[in-house]
Amino acid sequence: MPLINDNFLKLSDSYLFSDIARRVNAFTAENPGASLIRLGIGDVTRPLPEACIEAMHRAADDLSRQSTFHGYGPEQGYDFLIEAIIKNDFEPRGIKLSNHEIFINDGAKSDTGNIGDIFHHDNRIAVTDPIYPVYIDSNVMAGRAGILGTDGRWNGITYLPCNESNNFVPSLPSERPDIIYLCYPNNPTGTTLTKDELKQWVDYALANRSIIFFDAAYEAFICETNIPHSIYEIEGARRCAIEFRSFSKTAGFTGVRCGYTVIPDELTASASDGSPVQLNRLWLRRQCTKFNGTSYVTQRAAEAIYTPEGKAQVKANIDYYLENARIMREGLHAAGMTVYGGKNSPYLWLKTPDGLGSWQFFDILLKKHHIVGTPGVGFGPSGEGFLRLTAFGKRDDCIEAMRRIKATCHD
């Protein structure tokens, strides 16, 4: 009989968002007339920028003609998109990258989940807590997480708590991890790191020969000047960091699927005999075997993000969500609640009132206000006592949600 990868059995069957869906479905079955406002899942609601739609139409036409037809593309992506990325996302920030250091993918989830393929299962990983669940679950699948304790922590993983007492800025680990996951602007807390704060991590990684996986999926929401958009703005990061980017929240590509990963040439890790191996080369080998590239139509749509019209349309969408975030932040403050994030980020990290647990507060918001959030504890033990709201909703829904919360607080 074939054997399975037992590590999968260590994961709970249900996923955070299916637990939420179950509770919401039970509520709507009992209350069919309730008008629910969904501010839970981090999915966008604005349509794709017009420039991307037009580019997709043109690309579809290319595929209809013999002379411009495209079949399999390069596994690491087409040069037209890679060059647009380098020219627009990195050169203006003084970062030099070669085409082969960028790998186009079908979104950051795939690569943040798959990158572990090229690392030994014995590596010690460190995560900020709370955290985007993919980082942990993918390491559980790879057998890197150990055993889940009753405190909700895996004994093979180093947790770096982010809470009110450290202003959601994690401290450097007391014991050296091989790999450190950082996500800024952060999902779920909505907080950011300044250049000086991120530099401490780069310096630590260089001194300790650790590698940072830097997830910059929410980079487009940064408005303030001292917050780095890329980890490569920090000197030395080319020798210690992989960066993940996504067009999902930047340009509404959650359903279209496209992002990219940067692996600089200088970045190495050791083979079992101690010799250094270039990670770029290893990841290319992995991608050529397991990935057949993002579709031509999708890559043409992503390229259009970088045209003058595309940039203006993307900015309008981001501004819309940031304005939602401002309305929500101010609405929650006016209701007397404590809330973090929502600046340079589409996420608001709401402290539950009266010491309520995350799920208790989730139920109150659902049953009393008909608002769906995401319980903070679902992102890790340090998320207990918090709830995540997203600014990706429709403007009227955000305003109405704040009205409901404020009205009940002043009953």
Please give the full DSSP string across 176-226, using - where no structure is assigned.
Answer: --SEEEEESS-TTT-----HHHHHHHHHHHHHHT-EEEEE-TTGGG--STT
Sign of CA dihedral 115, 119, 121, 124: negative
Quick check: helix, strand or coil at residue 272? coil
Q: Is 216 in the site for ligand PLP (CB under 6 A)?
A: no
Q: Which of 40, 49, 77, 107 binds ligand PLP (CB under 6 A)?
A: 107
Dihedral sign from CA coordinates of 68, 106, 390, 233: negative
Nearer to ligand PLP, 318 or 335 (CB): 318
Q: How far apart are the C-alpha atoms of 54 and 66, rounded to whole Å?
A: 21
Would you tell me the crossing angle of helices 308-334 and 50-64 to the nearest 10 degrees? 140
The residue from 97, 108, 314, 318 that contacts ligand PLP (CB under 6 A) is 108
Binds ligand PLP by CB under 6 A, chosen from 169, 193, 217, 391: 217
How many CA atoms lie less than 13 Å away from 165 in the CB half-sphere? 4
Residue showing the smallest CB distance to ligand PLP in the complex? 107
φ, ψ for residue 158, nearest 5 deg: -90, 125
Q: Closest distance between ligand PLP and the C-beta of residue 147, in Å?
A: 25
Residue 189 binds to ligand PLP (criterion: CB under 6 A) = no
List C-alpha distances in Å: 228 to 58, 64, 82, 161. Answer: 35, 42, 21, 22
**Do the bridges between strand 339-341 and strand 347-351 make them parallel or antiparallel, or are there none, so unpaired?**
antiparallel
> Quick check: 254 binds ligand PLP (CB under 6 A)?
yes
Q: Does 378 bind ligand PLP (CB under 6 A)?
A: no
- When binding is defined by CB under 6 A, the residue of 37, 78, 97, 112 that contacts ligand PLP is 112
The reply to whether 215 sits near ligand PLP by the rule CB under 6 A is: yes
Give the nearest distance from C-beta 383 to ligand PLP in angstroms: 14
Residue 103 or 369: the one with the smaller Cβ distance to ligand PLP is: 103
**d(C-alpha 59, C-alpha 78), whole Å:** 13
Contacting ligand PLP (CB under 6 A), which of 40, 259, 341, 342? 259
Kindly state the tokens that stand for 87. 């020219």
Decide: 210 and 177 in contact? Cβ < 8 Å: yes
Nearer to ligand PLP, 219 or 384 (CB): 219
Q: Does 243 bind ligand PLP (CB under 6 A)?
A: no
Name which of 216, 264, 207 is nearest 241 in CA terms: 264
Measured from the CB of residue 258, what is the shortest distance to ligand PLP in angstroms?
A: 8
Can residue 301 be called a binding residue for ligand PLP (CB under 6 A)?
Answer: no
Kindly tell me which of 127 and 142 has the beta carbon lying closer to ligand PLP: 127
**Taking contact as CB under 6 A, which single stretch among the options 7-15, 56-64, 102-110, 261-269 is the one that binds ligand PLP?**
102-110
248 touches ligand PLP by CB under 6 A: yes
For position 144 contacting ligand PLP by CB under 6 A, the verdict is no
Verify binding: residue 310, ligand PLP, rule CB under 6 A.
Answer: no
> Is 42 near ligand PLP (CB under 6 A)?
yes
